[in-house]
Every structure is written in structure tokens, then in C-alpha cells.
Structure 1
Amino acid sequence: MRHWLTSSSLALALLAASGMLMIAVQPYAAGYGPFRQSILAELFMQWKDPTWQHGALLPFIAGFLALRRQKEVVELPAGSTFWGLPLIVLSLFLYFAGFRANSFYCGYLAIMLLLAGGSLWLEGAARSRVRLFSWVMLGFMWPLPFLEESVGYQMRLLMVKTTGFVLNAVGVDALVSGTALQSMPDISLGRKAGDLFSVGIAAPCSGMRSLFALLVVGALFSYFRQRVLWRRLLLFVMILPVAIVANMTRILVLIFSAMIFGQQWAIGDAEKEVSAFHEFTGIVVFLVALLLLQFVSGVLDRLCGGADSKRTRTVSRQVVAPVP
């Protein structure tokens, strides 16, 4: 037993040293050109972007989730799974491939695989299964800026079209032009196009920024709110439509506020960029999203029964049953 503990401690120390070398010491890709920097330096730089700021919290969240179930892990038998070693080897290969190809994304994946392989190799499948959700949450800390260009523009178009459809459906004539929304002209009232409101759906307003943060919030909400795996996954999948509806609600709040209080107060102008109210409405996205997630979770509980309702009813019947 003592020999196993010594070898396990040595292997853990080697894996920890390898992880630190891969993340914080070894200069890695920095795009085109000969300049390189460590993955940790890249993370600190990307985390300054509001889109990826939530990533700085994920190591602490993942650590809390792991510590929360540490007692359960200790009670499980320790062991070793052979498949951990191939994952470790694959992670080192991916890290080197990313180093040669100037791709931070290969480095991100390599570090995640190193953690998974190390857990399987040192602790076994049973203990690693308990830590799985912590590992998944840690995956949200990696910035993926390429999604802002590829998916962000499509999100902007979707926001404009759906918001324009809702406005026209409720009787507010809106003109969709590219990624902008403005009020229709009214000759009888002497209004020109855009007099009531004129909103340009910029990249930060596309919903991408809130979507990545909501994925983290939604994953935690699904994990703690539901106890069955398929219901957790279903609730998590609902985050995308929930984020779209929540962001559209914010845009509608801005538009109706512009119609009532004026464009400059509600949205801002070219000189002021955005108004204080515009910034404040960012909270609306998360409030609406949480309410919608709670609603979906409540529907799941009603359709499928609460997690502990059946057990509670059974225990209650046993308590009140007469003694023969």
C-alpha cells in the first residue's frame, strides 16, 4: 500500500509539473509571426475581453465543485484505468501539434485531455466519474474567439429578423436593413425613417457575449436543479433558445424605451456611444434567462414528477401505516 501511494504521488507530481510547463512556462503559438507566449499569458489577455471574462472564474468554480464531492470520492476505491495513459500520450501529441501549427485551440484541448487522462490513470474510472462535471465546467474557461466571427454574425441577423417580426406583429412598423432596425416613415405625421427608434445590432448586442456566460450559468443551474441526467441535458440544450429570447427581450426594451423617452436617453448617440440605460439593460438578459430556465425546469418537474416526490410519498405511507 505504501509503495502504491509513493508511486501515485510521484506520478501526480510529474503530471502537475507537465501541466504547469504546458500552461505557464512553455512559449506557445501567438498567431502569425515568430512571436510566442504561454497559454496562461494568452488566457489573461483574452479574459480582459468582456465576452470571455467569465472564464477567469471557472477554475474556482470547478475547484469548488470538486471539493464539494471530495468526501464521496474518498469513499470510492482507488485504482487505475489503462485508458488514462493513451489519453496522456494523445494530449502531449496534440500540444506539440498545436505548437507547430500556431494554434492555441490544440493546446487547450491537450490540457483538458491531460487532466482527464491523469485522473483515469491515477484514480480510476469510479472516482473520475464523480469528478466529471467539474472537468466539464473547467472546459468553459477556454476562450474561443473564432466563434464570434463565424456564429456571431448569424446571431445578429437572427436577432434583427426575429425582433422585426415581433415589432410588426404588435403593430409597430419596423424596417429591417442588414443588421439594423428602424421605425418606418409616416408621411401623415411627418415622421422620417428612424425618427422613433434606430437600433444597430452590433456584435456585443448579437447575444454571443451573453450566450457564453449563460452556458456556464445554465450548466450549473441544470446540474443543481435536476437530478436525472437526461433532464439535465435537456435543460442545458434549452439555453440557446432561452438566450435568443432573453436577448430579444432586451432589444425590445431598448426600442420601446426609445419610443417613450427618446433615442438618446434609451440607446445613446454617436458621440456618447451608448447610454447608461443601454448598459443597465444587460442585466435584463440574465434575469429573463433565469426565469425561462426556471419555467422549463418546472415544466419538466410537472411532466416527469419531482426528483424526490415519489420517494417522499412512499415514506409517508410507510410512516402512517398501522402496525399489525
Structure 2
Amino acid sequence: MAALLVWFFGIESRYNSDRSYSAIRWLMSAWNSDLDYEHGPLVPVVALGLVIYRYKDLKAAAGDGNVLGLLVVLIGVLSYIAGYRTLQPRITVGSLPFILWGSVLYLWGWRPAKLLLFPVFFLWLAVPLPSFQQATTHLQLIATSMAHHGSSLFGVETYVEGTKVLPIKGDWKPLDIAAGCSGIRSLMALLMISAAWAYVAKIAFWKKVLLFFAAFPLAILGNALRVISIFVIAEYGDAKWATTTWHDWSGLLLFYPFSLLLLLAIHSLLEGGLPWKKSDARRLRRVVVNHKAGASNSLQTE
């Protein structure tokens, strides 16, 4: 089975302009800044980490296989054939989770399959979507507007021409909110993080969904803060340093710490306290519930 997967996904060449790329080689070449998927190599690593996180449960869950797994594998094979015939590597790569998960279901049954459902299909986040152009344009306009209004709170007076922000009094050059500054890269990376975070969070399913979708406003807000910081430093400090060194490093030094702290705050709000510290209120509720359950059992016994 493993040899077949290596051959069809890693060796069989069908894609790229000269049809010299295998599906996996195409995927690795697509993890670049042009497609806003520089975080792509981290997705398989995180997926493996999620499997390791479930390792003890998986050891105890192995059981008899289920023939329905063959149906899921068939869906994956048909998807692979469709991608192969139409020269669509995204469809081809997207078929791999079906084949992997269907194999688990067929060989070991429902319990391991349920545990591996999310980690396996998490791999889809590594596949670049066909086009971000329209979404990127909207995000550029949002980032431009928020940076313009936000920088005014720090006394930086600017005016806007399209996606270009120009100073009214400062001597720094106009800054264009290009596609790379729209926040789309940060959004995709933060979606990966929030998806894994929500999976391991010990909260209700609907709260996990909220935690995942929180990545959208957090990415927009965090990116706006990053761009505002560039304008403020350009106005009051070294404009060249702000538009070069700080521009390149502000994502790592400002965006991610800010976004992850807010994600932690949202998680804590949903859980009723810090995730690693159970609050007295939650312990009290659990004791009360257990006490009522015990009282009910004693009444039935009498």
C-alpha cells in the first residue's frame, strides 16, 4: 500500500507545464510566496503532531475493520483519476486524505478512524486554493482603510489613493499596500494554527468552531496593527528601516504574538478560564452535578 502511494503521488510525473512534476513535487513547489502558502511545509508536521497527540487513544482503539472503508478509498481513487486525467494536481493531492482515512477505517474500524479523521483531512490545508486574487483585493482595501484610520490615532496624518497611503506632513515615501501586505498569507497560516488549536481544545464542538473562525477577524486586525506600526515608525523614526527591516520582520515579531494572545483570550473566554488552569467555578459546577447524580442514585436504591 505504501509503495503504491509513493509511486502514484511521489514518482508518477504528470503535472507542471512540461508534465515533469509528480503530485507531491508540484505541491512542494506551490509552497511559495507567490501563492501565499509559505506555511505549507508546516501542515504535514502539525498533522503528524496531532496523530502523536492521539497515540495513546489510538493504541486502545484498534478493533475490527469496516468494509465501508473501501468505499472511502474508492472515492479517493476516483478523485485521483479525475485529477490525473484533467491535469489538476490539486484534485490529485486532495484525494490522498480519502485514501489514507479509508484505509484506516477498513483495516482498524470506526474508533481509530474517528480519532484520525481530523488529522488526516487537516492535510487539505497544505493544498493552495486555485485563486486568491479577488479575496486579496478586498483584504488590500480593508488593510489600507484600517491602516489609514488607525495611524491617525497616533498622530500620523495620511491620505489614500487606491491601495496607496501617502503622508500629509511626513517626509517618508508613499507606501503601497501590495498583495503581500493584504494579510492573506497571515490569514492562511493563522487558519492552520486555529484549526489545530481548536482540535486539541477541551471545549464543546460549537465552541471549537467559533475558535477556528476567530482566525478571520484576528488576522485582519493583526495585519492592520502591523501596517500601522510601519507607518508610525516611518513618521517618527527611520522611514527606510520601517519599510525594509521592520516590514519584513513585523509579521513574526508583532502579528503572530498579538494574534496568538488574542486566540488564547478567546479560548479562555469560551472555556471559562485559562486552558491549563481549571477555575474554582468550573470545579464547583462539576462537584454539584456529581452530588446531584449521587443523590439521585441513592433515592433509586432506597
TM-score, normalised by the number of residues in structure 2 = 0.84
Larger deviation: 73-82 or 108-117?
Answer: 73-82
In structure 2, the partner of 1:271 is none
**C-alpha distance 314-34 of structure 1, shift in aligned 2 (>3 A):** closer
Residue 5 of structure 2 corresponds to: 19
Please tell me the root mean square deviation across aligned C-alpha atoms, in Å.
2.8
1:147 to partner: Cα distance: 3.5
Q: Superposition pairs for residues 293-304 of structure 1, below 5 Å?
A: 293-302=263-272
State the SS of the aligned residue for 2:272: helix
Note if 1:81 corresponds to 2:51: no
What SS does the aligned partner of 2:51 have? helix
Matched-pair contact (CA < 8 Å) for 2:156–2:232? no
Change (3 A) 1:170 1:263: closer
Q: Is 1:153 aligned to residue 124 of structure 2? A: no
1:168 to 1:253, Cα distance in 2 relative to 1, 3 A: closer
> Which residue pairs with 2:222 in the alignment?
246
Provide the C-alpha distance between the structure 2 equivalents of 1:213 and 1:34, rounded to a whole number of angstroms.
Answer: 30
Instruction: Go from structure 1 to structure 2 and tell me whether the alpha carbon gap of 1:88 and 1:164 turns closer, same or farther (over 3 Å shift).
Output: same
Listed one character per residue, the Cα deviations across residues 227-260 of structure 1 (whole Å, up to 9, x for unaligned) are 3222111111100100000000000100010110
- Alignment partner of 1:124 is 2:114: no
1:52 aligns with 2:28: no
> How far apart, in 1, do the equivalents of 2:159 and 2:285 lie?
59
Would the alpha carbon gap of residues 211 and 203 (structure 1) be closer, same or farther in structure 2, given more than 3 Å must change?
A: same
Residue 297 of structure 2 corresponds to none
Q: Quote the offset at 1:38 in angstroms.
A: 0.1
Query: Letter of the aligned partner of 1:64 in structure 2?
Result: G
Matched residues, number: 286
Bigger mean CA deviation after superposition, 306-315 or 46-55: 306-315
Tell me the equivalent position of 2:83.
98
Q: Distance in 1 between matches of 2:235 and 2:62?
A: 65
Output the CA distance in 1 between the equivalents of 2:52 and 2:276: 27
Q: Kindly indicate whether the alpha-carbon contact (under 8 Å) linking 2:154 and 2:232 is maintained by their aligned counterparts in 1.
A: no
Offset from partner CA, 1:203-227 (integer Å, 9 cap, x none): 2111111111111222233233443
Give CA-to-partner distance per residue, 1:85-138, whole Å, 9 cap, x none. 122112111111111212111112211211121122112221111112311332
By how many angstroms is 1:148 displaced? 3.2
Question: Aligned residues: percent identity?
Answer: 25
* CA deviation profile, 1:129-178 (whole Å, cap 9, x unmatched): 1112311332222233x333232222112211222233456664322211
How far off its partner does 1:84 sit? 1.7
CA gap 1:167/1:315 in 2 versus in 1, 3 angstroms: closer
AA in 2 matched with 1:83:
L
The alignment partner of 2:14 has SS state of: coil
Whole-angstrom distance in 2 between the partners of 1:67 and 1:295: 26
Q: Which residue matches 2:24?
A: 40
Partner of 2:241: 265
Structure 2: which 5+ residue stretches go unaligned? 292-302
> Is this contact kept in 2: 1:197–1:255, CA < 8 A?
no
- TM-score, length basis structure 1: 0.78
In the other structure, the counterpart of 2:295 is none
Contact 1:22–1:111 (Cα < 8 Å) also in 2: no
Q: Which residue of 1 aligns with 2:174?
A: 198
Q: Return 275-284 or 233-242, whichever deviates more.
A: 275-284
Q: What is the CA–CA distance in structure 1 between the aligned matches of 2:153 and 2:250, rounded to whole Å?
A: 23
Please state how far the C-alpha of 1:294 moved relative to its aligned partner: 1.5
- Of 227-236 and 239-248, deviating more is 227-236
Runs of 4+ more than 4 Å apart? 168-172, 305-311, 314-319
Instruction: Tell me the amino acid that sits aligned with residue 277 of structure 1.
Output: W
| Correspondences of 1:171-190 after superposition (within 5 Å) | 172-184=156-168
Distance in structure 2 (CA, Å) of the matches to 1:170 and 1:64 = 42
Report the Cα distance in structure 1 between the residues aligned to 2:74 and 2:121, rounded to whole angstroms: 20
Residue 214, structure 1, aligned to residue 172, structure 2? no
Which runs of 5 or more structure 1 residues have no equivalent in the other structure? 1-13, 185-190, 268-274, 320-324
Match of 1:188 in 2: none
Between the aligned partners of 2:7 and 2:27, the Cα distance in structure 1 is 15
